[in-house]
Structure formats: structure tokens, C-alpha cells
């Protein structure tokens, strides 16, 4: 699988978009690929350029095709993906960035991948058609970037809620919710409601995902560290606290995630382009 990050992201988008990248995955020697995408708290927008694959979410019996333009909100269950190839342009939003640009509460999607054409009527159909008309990847990405820039003009301003999310990130998911609500001049209930609207998770869930993501990233970067050492560096009380969080999010212990590489999340490893 090749994932190439677009380096020319417009400065006006950097407040809302983490990256735009191109994913290219072909079949294995047996004619198809299979992978499992783990639960994650991030939001993506995917434009399928040339794909032949199906997905099945945890609890579903059958596989179903993905849409040509798909909104992927935070996912709380594992997703199985199999097919012959994936070629897609994917926008990875910063936390809360999708809501600020498009003004659609994240719970509206009910943690399910959504056809962007249904959410935005004919707007995404026009964008997708423009993408497919372009002869090369750089021009295709430019269409996506221009589309997002038009949304920036009318976007919601930076709010105390974004500041609260930033504090959770900086504290590795260990800032008391009462302190966050007080600093944002909100009640705890109001903070939870607005946080859910913008991020698709409660502050407690968001904090748990931040710790979990930091721990996985640290293990990837420093494989010689034990999970006990990682638990202390990532804000857990101890290793059992880390194991409990991993199992509650993925259904697996951290040791099982390392043993089974097919469990890696398709959106984690990003290869920098040389252009």
C-alpha cells in the first residue's frame, strides 16, 4: 500500500485540515487484499478515483460497496476491507475541522460512513465529476483543495471548545472535564453536548482515544519500549489501565495488535512525497 501526502496544502486550510493524501493499494498475489481498520476518533472525506473493494463494519453480516465520495466520521468499531484495488484522494481533518467547515453535527452520521452526495445534494456530485475530468493527480487534488477553500470563507470561528480540545491533546487526555468546562465558561453538561456535536465524542471518550492513539504511535516509533514504559509516558496510571483502554476501543489487547499486522489502520502510515 502506498500513501503519498500532498505537501502544497493551502495555508488557509491548515486550521481545519491535517493533510490531503493519495492512497493506492493493489491486490496481493492471490488477486485481492484484506485489511482491518481499527476504531479511530478522526474524520475523513474520501474521493474514490478508481476502486474495487467492499467494506463490512463490526456487527454487520454482509459486505457493502463504499461510495464514490464518502464522509467517514469517527468509527467506534473495527471495519473489514477487501477488494482488488483502492485509489482514492483522502482529506484528513483536524479535530473539529469537519464540523467547522461544513456545519453538520458529527452525530448526524451515527458513526457510519455516509454518501457525501446525500449530505450535500448535488454539490459533491459536481466536485467528483470535476476530479474525474482532471488528467493527473496534482490537478485532481487541486479540485478538492479549491472546494474546501470555498467553505473556509463561511466557516465557524475558533471557539473555547477548540481550546478545550487542544488542552486535552497537550495533556495526553488527562485534563479533568470540570476544569475544561470552567475554563470555557460552560456547565459540564453543556460542554458534553457541544463537544459531541463538534467532535462526535464526549470529552471522556475523546480523552481515551487521545491516550490510545499516542500509545500506538509511540510503540510504532519506538518498538523497543515495553507497554509498561509506554503506559507511563502516555498518561496512563499503569499498564493495566492501558490494556483496559485498548480492549475497550479495539476488542484486543496491545499485545494482540502487535502480533497481528493486518489490524493496522489504513490511515496511519503516511509516506511523504518527494515533489
Q: Taking 90 as the threshold, does the pLDDT of residue 120 lie above it?
A: no
Backbone angles phi, psi at 57, to 5 degrees: -85, 155
Do the bridges between strand 44-48 and strand 79-93 make them parallel or antiparallel, or are there none, so unpaired?
A: antiparallel
Q: Are residues 77 and 181 in the same domain?
A: no
Judged against a pLDDT cut of 90, whether residue 259 lies above it is answered with no
Residue 81 structural domain: 2-155+266-272
Residues 27, 101 within the same domain: yes
Mean pLDDT along residues 138-159? 90
* pLDDT score for 53: 87
Confirm if 118 and 104 have CB atoms less than 8 A apart.
Answer: no
Do 108 and 239 lie in one domain? The reply is no
Can you state the percent helix, strand and coil of the chain, rounding each to 5? 45, 20, 35
- Domain match, 188 and 120 both: no
Residues 123, 189, single domain; the answer is: no
Do 168 and 135 have their domain in common?
Answer: no
Q: Check residue 80 and give its pLDDT.
A: 87
Please check the confidence at residue 215 and state whether its pLDDT lies above 90. Answer: yes
Which residues have C-beta within 8 Å of that of residue 107, sequence separation ≥ 6?
196, 197, 200
Q: Return the number of other C-beta atoms located less than 10 Å from residue 13's C-beta.
A: 21
208 and 244 co-located in one domain = yes
Same domain, 139 and 166: no
Residue 268 has pLDDT above 80, yes or no: no
- Do 181 and 253 reside in the same domain of the chain? yes
Residue 221: other Cβ atoms inside 10 A? 8
Alpha helix ranges (H) inside the chain: 97-102, 116-119, 123-133, 137-152, 160-170, 177-183, 188-199, 203-221, 227-233, 239-250, 254-259
Instruction: Using the predicted structure, report yes or no on whether residue 89 has a pLDDT greater than 70.
Output: yes
Angle at 22 between CA 88 and CA 106, to 5 degrees: 65
Provide the pLDDT for residue 203.
Answer: 93
Is residue 18 scored above 80 in pLDDT? yes
Supply the mean pLDDT for the chain.
86
Indicate if the pLDDT at residue 264 is higher than 80.
no
- Count the domains in the chain: 2
Question: What cell numbers appear for 250 in the block?
Answer: 479495539
Helix (H, G, I), strand (E, B) or coil at 60: coil
Domain shared by 107 and 122, yes or no:
yes
- pLDDT value of position 110: 77
Q: Tell me, what CATH number does 225's domain have? A: 1.10.10.60
Q: What is the mean pLDDT of residues 141-155?
A: 92
pTM of the model: 0.87
For the domain that residue 62 is a member of, what is the CATH number?
2.60.120.10
Which pLDDT band holds residue 121 (cuts at 50, 70, 90)?
Answer: low
Residues 97 and 15 sit within 8 Å (Cβ to Cβ): yes
pLDDT of residue 212 exceeding 90, the answer is yes
- Binned at pLDDT 50, 70 and 90, residue 267 comes out as very low
* 112/236 same-domain check: no
Residue 17 scores a pLDDT above 90 = yes
* Angle at which helices 188-199 and 160-170 cross, to 10°: 90
CA pair distance 145, 8, nearest whole angstrom: 10
| 224-257 pLDDT tens trace | 999 999 999 998 999 999 999 999 998 888 888 7
Q: Examine the domain organization and report whether 150 and 176 are in the same domain.
A: no
Amino acid at each position: 500500500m502506498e500513501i503519498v501526502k500532498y505537501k502544497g496544502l493551502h495555508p488557509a486550510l491548515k486550521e481545519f485540515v491535517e493533510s490531503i493524501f493519495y492512497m493506492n493499494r493493489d491486490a496481493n498475489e492471490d488477486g485481492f487484499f484484506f485489511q482491518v481498520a481499527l476504531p479511530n476518533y478522526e474524520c475523513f472525506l474520501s474521493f474514490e478515483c478508481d476502486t474495487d473493494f467492499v467494506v463490512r463494519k463490526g456487527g454487520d453480516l454482509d459486505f457493502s460497496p463504499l461510495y464514490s465520495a464518502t464522509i467517514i466520521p469517527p468509527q467506534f468499531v473495527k471495519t473489514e476491507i477487501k477488494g482488488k484495488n483502492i485509489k482514492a484522494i483522502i482529506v484528513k481533518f483536524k479535530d473539529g475541522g469537519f464540523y467547522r467547515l461544513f456545519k453538520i453535527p458529527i452525530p448526524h452520521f451515527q458513526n457510519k460512513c455516509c454518501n457525501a452526495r446525500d449530505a450535500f445534494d448535488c454539490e459533491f456530485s459536481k466536485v467528483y465529476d470535476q476530479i474525474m475530468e482532471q488528467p493527473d493527480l496534482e490537478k485532481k487534488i487541486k479540485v478538492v483543495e479549491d472546494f474546501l477553500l470555498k467553505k473556509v470563507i463561511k466557516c465557524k470561528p475558533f471557539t473555547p471548545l477548540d481550546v478545550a480540545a487542544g488542552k486535552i491533546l497537550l495533556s495526553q487526555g488527562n485534563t479533568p472535564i470540570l476544569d475544561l468546562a470552567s475554563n470555557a465558561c460552560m456547565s459540564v453538561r453543556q460542554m458534553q453536548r457541544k463537544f459531541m456535536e463538534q467532535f462526535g465524542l464526549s470529552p471522556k471518550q475523546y480523552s481515551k482515544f487521545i491516550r490510545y492513539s499516542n500509545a500506538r504511535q509511540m510503540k510504532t516509533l519506538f518498538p523497543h519500549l515495553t507497554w509498561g514504559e509506554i503506559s507511563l509516558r502516555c498518561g496512563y496510571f499503569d499498564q493495566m489501565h492501558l490494556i483496559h483502554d485498548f480492549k475497550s476501543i479495539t476488542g484486543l489487547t496491545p499485545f494482540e495488535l502487535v502480533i497481528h499486522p493486518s489490524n493496522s489502520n489504513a490511515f496511519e502510515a503516511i509516506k511523504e512525497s518527494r515533489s
